[in-house]
Amino acid sequence: MVGGSAIRGSRVGAGPMGEAERGDTAPRLYVSYFCANSHETRPAFAADAQVPETWDCPRCGLPANMDAENPPPPPKTTPYKTHLAYVKERRSDSEAEAILDEALTALRARRAAGEVIY
């Protein structure tokens, strides 16, 4: 026998890892959560753990609860606003025109005085 080994194809510590060697598994509780897209998620919890009321759906990311008939609604997202949109919320058109006229008057006065502004 050339290069033979008595324990061919194994390594130290390898062997069947069944329940007899590891011990019994902890009792588990599977809870169903439902999201607004009708996805069902069944995470496992320890039998003595407190189960949360809501859970994030791993498929779509929406919140889910345990009521299949009334899943929580998707959260409302506000669209991105530009700086100009925020300014328009604070100022009326007449106020904006007054501020612009004031700034243009000051700019023209500085140019007339010989200051070069680019």
Is 87 annotated as belonging to a binding site? no
Is 83 annotated as belonging to a binding site? no
Is 35 annotated as belonging to a binding site? yes
| Residue among 86, 85, 96, 76 nearest 36 (CA) | 76
Is 55 annotated as belonging to a binding site? no
Helices within the chain (DSSP H only): 19-22, 83-90, 93-112
- 3-class SS shares of the chain: helix, strand, coil, % to 5: 25, 15, 60
What span, in angstroms and rounded, lies between the C-alpha atoms of 72 and 33? 10
Reduced to 3 states (helix: H, G, I; strand: E, B; else coil), residue 82 is: coil
Write out the binding residues for Zn(2+): 35, 39, 57, 60
Q: Please enumerate, by residue number, every residue annotated as part of a binding site.
A: 35, 39, 57, 60
